[in-house]
Amino acid sequence: ADKAPSAAEAKSETAQRVKIGIYFATWWALNVVFNIYNKKVLNVYPFPWLTSTLSLACGSLMMLVSWATRIAEPPKIDLEFWKVLFPVAVAHTIGHVAATVSMSKVAVSFTHIIKSGEPAFSVLVSRFLLGENFPPAVYLSLLPIIGGCGLAALTELNFNMTGFMGAMISNLAFVFRNIFSKKGMKGTSVSGMNYYACLSMLSLLILTPFAIAVEGPHLWAAGWKEAVSLVGPQFIWWVAAQSIFYHLYNQVSYMSLDQISPLTFSIGNTMKRISVIVSSIIIFHTPVQPINALGAAIAILGTFLYSQAKA
């Protein structure tokens, strides 16, 4: 028979909610700072393959130091763990570099408007590749998501095909990353924080040769000189900030993924995008037409309808 929750149960549920609330607020705040420094760097130093690599390198280093000094307990993992992690890391690498390439070509707000369409990709992948079925309301909620993103893209003042495609590829890659990683995390005793640390390290190994092939040290060095002459010696701190905050926001998001369902996670992620879109428009004085903002609002509303339909 159903029992009314005891006072102790109700208290622990409240504590859990407060904890998730703190995770979410921290995740969004760190993400806003990352997005701002990332774009400041890309504006004067348009090498997204390198900045993506540096973000992963910085996170890997931070975690290796944390393990060595026992600030964080190192995970107990075997070869099998790395094998299961490999497809997650491939998807994470593609999604990360594609989003950064996108942001190097278009406004941060535009990349994130397109990225708010991620649930649509999630449903299409689950339906057509995994054979999952959803109630009709879920499919209906895709209409405003796709329509809103489409309207925002068509009316974007600084539309750029590479910027658009980068955000779309990132959506697709992150759907796979989330499916694989939730599965992978289930089977291990590795914490969300350590799971993300290993993911960064493996992604770094995958990305580095490609970054060298696509951009390479010659361009990086010449571009660096130019960026320092434009910004001054503090340019290095911008690069450090984008790298450190990239790791921190992802670490916190994986720590919360540990505690919540993928659905709650994707709602949190959409709310994160609203804070990034609004703050980047203010900080970078991004021009927006009313019809463009309407497209973004419809897409985001669609994401909320989607989460309701899925719940």
Q: Output the smallest distance, CB 198 to ligand 3PG, in A.
A: 17
Q: Which is nearer to ligand 3PG, 257 or 298 (CB)?
A: 257
DSSP codes joined into one string, 107-163: -HHHHHHHHTTHHHHHHHHHHHTT-----HHHHHHHHHHHHHHHHHHHT-TT--HHH
Q: How far is the CB of 56 from ligand 3PG (least distance, A)?
A: 10
Residue number with CB closer to ligand 3PG (77 or 239) = 239
Q: What is the maximum alpha-carbon separation in the chain?
A: 72
Nearer to ligand 3PG, 100 or 109 (CB): 100
3-state secondary structure of 29: helix
User: How near is the Cβ of 102 to ligand 3PG at its closest, in Å?
Assistant: 8
Q: Which of 33, 40, 30, 34 is nearest to 284 (CA)?
A: 40
Count Cα atoms within 13 angstroms, Cβ side, for 286. Answer: 25
Q: How far is the CB of 248 from ligand 3PG (least distance, A)?
A: 12
| Closer residue to ligand 3PG in complex, CB, 76/182 | 182
The amino acid occupying position 55 is: S
Supply the minimum distance, in Å, between the C-beta of residue 108 and ligand 3PG. Answer: 9
Least distance CB 171 / ligand 3PG (angstroms): 8
Which residues of this chain interact with ligand 3PG, rule CB under 6 A? 96, 99-100, 115, 174
Nearer to ligand 3PG, 92 or 310 (CB): 92
User: How far is it, in rounded angstroms, from Cα 174 to Cα 252?
Assistant: 17
Smallest distance from ligand 3PG to CB 68, Å: 26
Nearest to 305, CA basis, from 172, 153, 174, 139? 139
Between 100 and 194, whose beta carbon lies closer to ligand 3PG? 100
Identity at 35, one-letter amino acid code: N
DSSP 8-state symbol, 6: P
DSSP readout, 229-254? HHH-TTHHHHHHHHHHHHHHHHHHHH
Q: 68 vs 111, which CB is nearer to ligand 3PG?
A: 111
